Structure 1
């Protein structure tokens, strides 16, 4: 193919950013640009492509530039302009989703051939503003040599394909490490496409069953409004009473698709959830589903058969009626079925707050859209401040009380709700596990303490006659489990002046954490409390 000419660059320059109206003349110019400067750019990329770097190029001569003013017919049309540049991208074969790449092409404004390391700034799959800023900051401070390298039109006659390809290959080889480091800087080491963001319907019962109309949308076309069905499909999202092989089967409208096999089926995501109280117009962080698996049609149908056989589907339908809903759990044309995702309760992260929710001050910092769609979650995972950890907690005394600000009204659950149904499951599995581990010792479930009439979830009697008390808690957050169990265990063991047990065990399905272990160790050392934590997995 003939090398780039001054005519090619002049043609691109002449029409750069000019409006494309689709006239016969425009179509002629479009064809000429495709066959010359765009075709040569693609050829350039093809010469650079290897097994380690794939080339992507589209001869998209025009781009959208906003809507036109309304015409006489009252309609608006999408305005188009000629692109001022051509491009071909070079990137790792499995790096499409990262949005960072080498690019080569022609700049019509400056009339130059050029190459650089760049990122996706617009269009489908573009990075968000924060990521683009991180890329630019990295390139400016740590890799300024990876910016645009140009060949001016005045120097064009000194270049040919051989020299151009050699120069760009040397550039990419020199900045191969820069390319990888830029990706790490932009994505904070996360796997792009794995972390998602989704909205769920409002619920005041901890998403364990339908909670009625309070706080829900009143829009006439909304499924959760009384005009349609009176419930949202996510209302059972944290109902762990009906598990199948350790998995909870739920629904997210953000994953809902008429063609359930077309997009996400069979894939797994980490999905951060938020919700909106329609009554107060406030947004809240609900939690995050780690390793949430999007169901295939076959997986969904299998789960539906189990629910039907166990009577769970009828139970859910009755819960809709009890909450004042009128819709059917099957949801008809609204969704293929009542399930489209599954996850393990152990893989759910919830805020450690009184009501299990965390107020979002500015939803625009989370997402540009609050629709029930699946969005990429670009938020950086929270990292504990080392300086605060090193400094430690302390009490601040003040000479006089500060003037209090008006409190924000919050219409939420009011307090964390223990996960109904799951308590009995964990308690039963704890009892079975203890029977196997301590064969020959007396194990009792729901033991009474007389004369108070209080019940202990599980008690183990050692050969020496001493007792071990086990208290089961299944709150959404492990910290809440520890907090609630601690007081009960101390009461069971020592109210009012008794010493019924010298070993107290907090039990839940959550995996333990370094913070929990450190806290219990501190209590043991400081107050001589014989405390420990035991996880009983759900499978």
Structure 2
């Protein structure tokens, strides 16, 4: 599902509050001097390679959206400027957090001092920090997460032209996108045919996505805990170890060694892409092959698609790799 939503104005590329937007009197921004979205692209604040942030459009209708199973999608962001409606970025595979995820992510922010830094930056623009996370406006400081590499930027000064459907939207709402063809191209637009090109790709220097985080995300920890409970039942007499030699979970039985690599992405294709290389390296690169039979298990949150199953079947049958996929959901998804 693809959506369109407005974000507040900002002069720092949404890294910290700048009090540079002109908003209507009845908005949170006008009353408090900042918006919850102003840290959306603070890329040095990553947890396990994930960027956490807030979108007001997600905040509205949040509970009903999760109840319908709408947990992820692509979101196109635009903002209002004196020159008109400006397209900012497109974020692919963005995940809408449930309450447990939002609370866990904010706890992480507080432990690392990031939340205190947010409060300091609100003070720096003479904002009213009592509104941050105030349930009257927004019950959660963080309600989305995405991988920085999934951000596709629109070139600077990409404004909606006359007749563009975005011209009719004013409020901070998550609007289902049904006019894809009318959108301008992002810097990182993905071409369906994937045809090559004669010249090297353009290296745009005005935006950066930052590096990957080194810590595990809260979702990763939740999945490990849920997997542990399942494995204790399946392998009651076996040795279950976490984070040994960088492997998320290792189960050793009398006859086999099972390596589990956990990825909390909603996209199973990405889970397989990220996990398989790591599993192969963990199993075969560093040490002599194990005397026990080896099983390599990629762990994700969603079911395999038919394409995923066909791909995995090819790897196991044609290449004779001992690969498997296992679904482990967060407690709130059970």
Provide the TM-score with structure 1 as the length reference: 0.41
1:471 and 2:261 correspond: yes
Could you tell me whether the CA contact under 8 Å between 1:473 and 1:508 is conserved in 2?
A: yes
Deviation at 1:430, TM superposition (A): 0.9
DSSP-derived class of the 1:521 partner: helix
CA distance in 1, matches of 2:62, 2:278: 44
- Choose the corresponding residue for 1:411, options 173, 189, 207: 207
Q: Which has the higher contact order (CA 8 A, sep 6+)?
A: 2
Q: Counterpart of 2:275? A: 485
Q: Distance between the aligned counterparts of 2:323 and 2:260, measured in 1?
A: 10
Find the counterpart in structure 2 of residue 283 from structure 1: 88
Is there any run of 5+ residues in structure 1 with no aligned partner, and where?
1-189, 204-210, 242-248, 258-263, 294-302, 383-392, 448-453
Give 1:330-479 correspondences, 5 Å limit.
330-331=130-131, 336-339=136-139, 355-359=149-153, 364=160, 367-368=166-167, 371-374=170-173, 376-379=175-178, 402-404=198-200, 406-414=202-210, 420-447=217-244, 454-464=245-255, 466-475=256-265, 477-479=267-269
Cα displacement (A) at 1:251: 5.5
1:282 Cα offset (Å): 5.7
Q: Is the contact between residue 255 and residue 340 of structure 1 (CA under 8 Å) also seen in structure 2?
A: no
1:254 aligns with 2:48: no
Superposition deviation, residue 328 in structure 1 = 5.9
How far, CA to CA, are the matches of 2:222 and 2:282 in structure 1?
22
CA distance in 2: counterparts of 1:265 and 1:470, whole angstroms: 33
Looking at structure 2, the residues matched to 394 and 380 of structure 1 have their Cα atoms a distance apart, in angstroms, of: 22
Post-superposition CA distance 1:262-315 (Å, at most 9, x none): xx586437575333699xx7622224678999xxxxxxxxx79x969x994993
Shift of 1:359: 4.0
Cα pair distance change 1:290/1:492, threshold 3 Å:
closer
What's the CA shift for 1:355? Answer: 1.0
What displacement does 1:368 show? 2.5
Q: Encode CA deviations 1:116-138: one digit per residue, 9 max, x unaligned.
A: xxxxxxxxxxxxxxxxxxxxxxx
Asked if 1:198 corresponds to 2:10, the answer is no
When residues 536 and 521 of structure 1 are mapped into structure 2, their CA distance, relative to the original with a 3 A threshold, is: same
Residues 283 and 360 in structure 1, CA contact (< 8 A), matched pair in contact too: yes
Deviation digits for residues 455-513 of structure 1 (CA, Å, limit 9, x no counterpart): 3211112332x201111122464333322222221111112452136210011223332
Determine which of 318, 322, 325 is the counterpart of 1:533.
325
SS at structure 1 position matched to 2:226: helix
The structure 2 residue matched to 1:320, chosen from 115, 124, 137, is: 115
Contact 1:196 1:374 in 2 (8 A): no
Question: What SS does the aligned partner of 1:459 have?
Answer: strand
- The alignment's TM-score, normalised by the length of structure 2, stands at 0.61
What's 2:20 paired with?
Answer: 219
Instruction: Name the CA shift for 1:251/1:288 in 2 (closer, same or farther; >3 Å).
Output: same
Task: Give the secondary structure class of the aligned counterpart of 2:269.
Answer: helix
Residues 126-275 of structure 1: matches in 2 within 5 Å? 197-200=4-7, 212-213=15-16, 219-221=20-22, 228-229=33-34, 232=37, 235=40, 252-254=55-57, 267-268=64-65, 273-275=75-77
Question: For the aligned residues, what is the CA RMSD?
Answer: 5.2
Structure 2, unaligned stretches of length 5 or more?
81-85, 182-192
Structure 1: how far apart are the matches of 2:172 and 2:305? 33
Shifted more, 494-503 versus 467-476: the winner is: 494-503
Question: In 2, Cα distance between the equivalents of 1:520 and 1:366?
Answer: 41
* Structure 2 residue aligned with 1:109: none
| Secondary structure of 1:534 counterpart | strand
SS of equivalent to 1:485: helix
User: Separation in 1 of the partners of 2:208 and 2:107?
Assistant: 27
CA distance in 2, matches of 1:475, 1:329: 32
Distance in 1 (CA, whole Å) between partners of 2:258 and 2:302 is: 21
CA contact (8 A) 1:231 1:320 kept: no
Q: What secondary structure does 1:502 align onto?
A: strand
Distance, in Å, in 1 between the alignment partners of 2:46 and 2:194 is 38
Cα distance change on mapping 1:481 and 1:272 into 2, 3 Å: closer
Instruction: Name the CA shift for 1:202/1:426 in 2 (closer, same or farther; >3 Å).
Output: farther
Shift of 1:433: 0.8
What is the count of residue pairs matched by the alignment? 281
Whether the 8 Å CA contact 1:419–1:476 is kept in 2: the answer is no
TM superposition shift of 1:414: 3.8
- 1:357: how far off? 1.6
> Could you tell me whether the CA contact under 8 Å between 2:36 and 2:132 is conserved in 1?
no
Alignment partners' CA distance in 2, 1:234 and 1:339: 17
Name the CA shift for 1:307/1:373 in 2 (closer, same or farther; >3 Å).
closer
